[in-house]
Amino acid sequence: MRKLSLILACALFPALFSCSPKEDSSAYKWREEWNEPEPEIPDGPDNPGLPEIKGKPRYIWVDAAANFKYYANDVTYIEEDCRRIAKMGFTDIIVDVRPTSGDVLFTSAVAPACRKVAAWSNGYRWIERTENFDYLGAFIAAGHAAGLRVNAAINTMVGGYHSSIGDAGMLYDHPERKSWCSVDNLEGGLTNAMEDPETGPRFLDPANPEVQEFLLTLLGELASYEGLDGIVLDRCRYDDYNLDAGYTDAALAAFTEYLGEAPKNWPVIPQGTVFLTSPSTLQRNWLTFRCKTIRAFMEKASARVHELAPDIRFGVYVGAWFSEYYRAGVNWSSPTYDLKANESTYKWATSAYQKTGFADLLDFIFLGAYAGTSGVHGSGEWTMEGFAKLGSKRLAGAVPFAAGPDIGNGSGFTEGGQEALIPDIVDTMLENAGGLFVFDLCHIRMFNYWDAFEEAINAYLETL
């Protein structure tokens, strides 16, 4: 079995770890379940339009699974929370409309509608959707009414979710698509993701042309949504942070073409390898090939979105831990950033790898600066300030970026009670990044951070 550290597990599955209300939380809770009084929600203006942003943009992520019980069947929650998000001082919401099941929460002719998710609340349980209103459309209407920009996020290279209470998603509904799945080098040998006993998302194969065309069709449908302001790709990467993923027949054929000959070793990297400190030439070529595959898809995705909707911003979420992110097959830096000169300790940073950077293809990018409560300040990775400063260097001005913390899963955040730290986080991110990014709305609700963020953002705006 693959082993992941807590921080990597939270980065892989943030919506399933700690986004459910606790018995002793004073936060705004699910009214029907907890029978608590309604919070005071400000009235929204009748037709505010979208005001010009004062200062740097502020983004809040709205994960589908973590917030599903509030929004799946109740438009009033969407309307109320959009007004409250705007009152806090955020300028944008990023709404997850394709959970890790691969089903969707927008109108699609090619993907099934999401009817249930397996959410974590002291164990997995199904949250079912019985209503049929347009989920994304409701967020666009409510967000714009509150003066927010509305961006849709999709979990990209996934197509199903396996949990202890059952399975959900496109791949389970269409077993003929098993060939679309990632093939991972597990202890028992090369294993299709559908046969992996571990719980979690079932990843797709980025090298499979059918997978790419399906996802491009989805992006085209999203780009056609009236009023949508942006599209953000999440999990646009390979499965697994242990370098075990991606050994499909499609990948072997494409890698052989890339090399000009069949690879001498397949799998290229031994099972269970966590970091490559002294990679061979073949292994460096494999790492470059995986990043090249993701960049090629990004080129197609950006072109598809902008062809259909030139005004919609196109971007991606990535983890800011760049020194480790090569394991996911992603190089999010600018292709003009000199990796070999600036990151000389990274043996995989060849000139060919540098060209796989995709920052120049984007309109905006979001860096998860997921340090713990003791790591707000610093110059290196695993501090919020360091993530932002290093991210700025690695992006090299190719794209505007926002950065910020996971305020529910990181070390020191899991039990709440961090209201006093929020002003420092807000100031640090807005000083060192092009904008503030916060994961996730469920944590603001769970730990009742509404007022803390409103006061911190208002204090920032008063300095402008």
pLDDT of residue 346: 86
Please choose, from the candidates 216, 359, 390, the residue with its C-alpha nearest in 3D space to the C-alpha of residue 300.
Answer: 216
Question: Is 431 part of a structural domain of the chain?
Answer: yes
pLDDT of residue 385: 98
pLDDT tens digits, one per residue of 17-72:
345 433 333 333 334 443 434 445 444 444 445 778 999 999 999 999 999 999 99
**Mean local confidence (pLDDT), 252-272:** 97
100 pLDDT exceeds 80?
A: yes
Question: Is 31 part of a structural domain of the chain?
Answer: no
219 pLDDT exceeds 50?
A: yes
Handedness of CA 160, 163, 168, 174 (dihedral sign): positive
Please choose, from the candidates 296, 325, 301, 449, the residue with its C-alpha nearest in 3D space to the C-alpha of residue 391.
Answer: 325
Q: Which helix (H) or strand (E) holds 441?
A: helix 441-447
Rg (CA), the chain: 21
Question: Is 49 part of a structural domain of the chain?
Answer: no
Is residue 216 within 8 Å of 171, Cβ to Cβ? no
Question: Is 206 part of a structural domain of the chain?
Answer: yes
Question: Is 20 part of a structural domain of the chain?
Answer: no
**Mean local confidence (pLDDT), 149-153:** 98
Q: Residue 188's domain spans which residues? A: 55-462
Question: Is 82 part of a structural domain of the chain?
Answer: yes
Number of independent structural domains in the chain: 1
Share of the chain above pLDDT 90, in %: 83
120 pLDDT exceeds 90?
A: no
142 pLDDT exceeds 90?
A: yes
Cα separations (Å) of 7 from 11, 63, 276, 375, 408?
6, 18, 19, 13, 12
**Mean local confidence (pLDDT), 6-19:** 38
DSSP 38: P
pLDDT of residue 342: 86
Question: Is 12 part of a structural domain of the chain?
Answer: no
Question: Is 141 part of a structural domain of the chain?
Answer: yes
What lies within 8 Å, CB to CB, of 263 at 6+ separation is: 252, 255, 256, 282, 286
pLDDT of residue 119: 83
Please choose, from the candidates 273, 274, 251, the residue with its C-alpha nearest in 3D space to the C-alpha of residue 262.
Answer: 251
**CA atoms lying within 13 Å on the CB side of residue 166:** 10
What CATH number does residue 245 fall under? 3.20.20.80
How far apart, in whole angstroms, are the C-alpha atoms of residue 54 and residue 269?
49
16 pLDDT exceeds 60?
A: no
How far apart, in whole angstroms, are the C-alpha atoms of residue 255 and residue 257?
5
pLDDT of residue 19: 54
Mean pLDDT is lowest, of 113-127, 158-172, 276-290, for 113-127
pLDDT tens digits, one per residue of 160-192:
999 999 999 999 999 999 999 999 999 999 999
**Mean local confidence (pLDDT), 431-448:** 98
Which residue is associated with the tokens 């920052």?
359
Look up the pTM and report it: 0.91
Cα separations (Å) of 269 from 9, 37, 266, 284, 349?
22, 56, 8, 10, 17
Read off the amino acid at residue 258: Y
